[in-house]
Amino acid sequence: MIRQAIQSAYRKSVGALKDRLVGTLSSATRGGGLIQLLYVIVLVGLMAGFVSAITYPVPNETLIPYPSGSNETVPEAVVDAMVIAMGGAGIYLTYMSGRQTVRSRAVNFYLGIALLLLIVSLFIGFNLAILKGFG
């Protein structure tokens, strides 16, 4: 009896998670969403400066913000990519808040989250620029 209950709970939880993942992956690959996601990841990586971080390595890779205007470390490029992605997500959520015409609570929720993402990304970006020596 206990074994049946555990197996049933396992099938419900893991089976539901498996079905959800399969559904998400199939919908992402069906409409070209996977290619779009890879395109956005590559674009954000190029904007963050991964190529220059790998091509021109700095002597001390342990410093996240390397104090130079022309060189950067790989961890700094990861932080830059995070800042760019957060800002892009904030702009997208601002756009989505304007499209919500049915649910007025969703408008305020999307706009609040969007403004929070934009403020945090600006704060981290300015702090990184100050640590780099630009400010």
State residue 108's pLDDT score: 85
Residue 36 has pLDDT above 60, yes or no: yes
Domain hosting 11: range is 1-31
**Judgement on whether residues 24 and 42 belong to the same structural domain of the protein:** no
**Judgement on whether residues 43 and 24 belong to the same structural domain of the protein:** no
Residue 57 has pLDDT above 80, yes or no: no
CA distances from 88 to 6, 26, 35, 48, 117 (A): 43, 25, 18, 13, 9
Q: How many structural domains compose the chain?
A: 2
**Would you place residue 20 in the very low, low, confident or very high pLDDT band (cuts 50, 70, 90)?**
confident
pTM: 0.67
Summarize pLDDT for 76-95 with one digit per residue, the tens.
888 888 999 999 999 988 88
List the alpha helices (DSSP H) in the chain: 2-30, 33-48, 50-55, 74-99, 104-132
**Judgement on whether residues 64 and 127 belong to the same structural domain of the protein:** yes
**Judgement on whether residues 7 and 51 belong to the same structural domain of the protein:** no
State residue 28's pLDDT score: 59
**Judgement on whether residues 68 and 9 belong to the same structural domain of the protein:** no
